[in-house]
Amino acid sequence: MRAHFSSSIHRLIVFVAASLVALGLCASPSFAQGKYEPGGDAVYHGAGLPDYWSENKLSQNVNRYKQLSGKNLAVITWFASLYEKGDKTSWPQNYAHNLARIKRMGDVSLIKFSTNDPAYEGNHKMASPPDITRGIYDAYFNQFADTIKDFGDPVFISINHEMNGNWYPYSQDYPGTNFTAADYIAMWKHIVTLFRSRGANNVAWVWAPNVPDVNGVPADAYYPGDTYVDWIGPSFYSGNQLNAMDNLYRTYASRKPFFITEWATSPEKNKWNSAFPGEAQWVAGFFEALQKRYPRVKGISWFEWKKDDGDHRLERVPGQQQSYAAQVKDARYLDDASGLINPPPGGVVVPRREVVPQEIILPDRTTTQNVAVQNVPVRAPVQTTPVQTTPTRGSLRDRLKLTVAPSQNVPVQR
């Protein structure tokens, strides 16, 4: 009886709040601004591009993407790992050049860092979460932190993304693993604490789960805590219906800004969405959801890759590319990171647009009633068809999308 009464009171509060917002009698909820979060309704426009180890190739890809989208990028997403081909990588030799060349493009780096070798399924090389927590790899992470500190400008970093799937060996649901979500959290905290102790405070830490949860361990079980996370950075592909992020958003949006660190369509992903409307319509619906359903999403990065796990390129479907370009031409999608990478004296200035986002109050999880906020219907989350989850030999490298940069600035045929 008490639970039913409590649920009824909650629904009443939501209804009254929604009505007041709709009538303009109270302001939309406001949040403390996150680290490097743009103000107002502004959103960083980003993309994950291949060939980031070559200045010429990266420049070509940036220009090509600008032609496709009609807009410059503010953020470029790239991948790094602790091991490559069985050997440890070196941040000064392998990755410092990436940071510098992306800055020369006028963009900020979003680095998706993994502690395992992309070829793990063949060589089983990785730094295990417990070993990292015990300090066995502190020398490596000291070097990593010093490279970022010496670079000086803001950098977004995620560690071991999509941990709530079962395709990476650091996940609790990876077949045959002995690692747990608690191991992941302890590892994350150790790395962040080490960076901070070395003064590498120009990092915004991006916790990057998959949407949706896969198998038995949900994303929440891997969350390191607000003190150790600056942004929520989910992967959100077309295998999802457009309300699939409701639970994640409901849990964290009042505390942290969101950055969709990977999103795209592909035939391989589309088939898992039983209500997939077509590429152009899904992309248009994605942007509509950002504005009306998920206004705390303040960064997006399209995954512009063609790999064995799918062709995710924007130009794969002309209607998709046109839909994307029509949406990002809005001034709210920032194509300039100069306020972050070339801050004036006195500190970093984040581009701002003083526009209050259209906040959405999501309903209690126990009710399926619609709540209308400013004439936008919001429904409780529905169960979506999960993405393909069975790991296959050779698929890990394709999921990591990683090639380590050459240690010398010389042309390398890939």
| pLDDT per position as a tens digit, 307-363 | 888 999 999 999 999 999 999 999 999 998 877 876 655 554 444 443 444 444 454
- Please state the rounded mean pLDDT for residues 67-90: 97
* pLDDT for the residue 340: 82
Q: Write down the pLDDT at residue 393.
A: 33
Q: Are 298 and 353 in contact (CB under 8 A)?
A: no
- HEC string of 294-353? CCCEEEEEEECCEECCEECCHHHCHHHHHHHHHHHCCCCEECCCHHHHCCCCCCCCCCCC
- Name the H helices within 125-245: 129-133, 138-151, 181-197
369 versus 405: the higher-pLDDT residue is 405
pLDDT tens profile 272-319: 999 999 999 999 999 999 999 999 999 999 999 998 889 999 999 999
> Which one-letter DSSP state was computed for residue 116?
B
Across 141-160, average pLDDT: 98
- Among 360, 391, 229, which residue's Cα sits nearest to residue 295? 360
pLDDT at 400 over 50: no
Report the pLDDT value the prediction gives residue 31, as an integer from 0 to 100. 77
Burial class for 385, CB neighbours closer than 10 Å (0-12, 13-18, 19+): middle
Q: Is residue 164 predicted with pLDDT exceeding 70?
A: yes
pLDDT attached to residue 338: 77
CA distances from 130 to 94, 136, 352, 375 (A): 25, 9, 41, 50
Among 56, 138, 146, CA closest to 92: 146
More confident residue, 120 or 348: 120
Percent of the chain with pLDDT over 90: 70
Residue 345 is predicted with a pLDDT of: 53
CATH fit for domain 38-400, picks 3.20.20.80, 3.40.50.150, 1.10.460.10, 1.20.120.1200? 3.20.20.80
At residue 1 the predicted structure's pLDDT band, cuts being 50, 70 and 90, is very low
Query: Is the whole model's pTM more than 0.85, yes or no?
Result: no
For 236, the token pair is 């959100």
pLDDT tens digits, 18-31: 433 333 333 345 67
Task: Evaluate if residue 376 carries a pLDDT over 60.
Answer: no
Burial 239-265 (b: 16+ CB within 10 A, else e): bbbbbbbbbbbbebbeebbbbbbbbbb
pLDDT of residue 9: 44
Mean pLDDT of the chain: 82
Distances, alpha carbon 386 to alpha carbons 165, 271, 283, in Å:
10, 10, 19
97-107 pLDDT, tens digit each:
999 999 999 99
CA dist 205 and 158 (Å) reads 6
Summarised one tens digit per residue, pLDDT across range 31-77 is 789 999 999 999 999 999 998 888 999 999 999 999 999 999 999 99
Nearest to 140 by CA among 97, 91, 185: 91
pLDDT (0 to 100) of residue 19:
38
Nearest to 259 by CA among 228, 300, 224: 300
Query: Is pLDDT at 253 greater than 70 in this prediction?
Result: yes
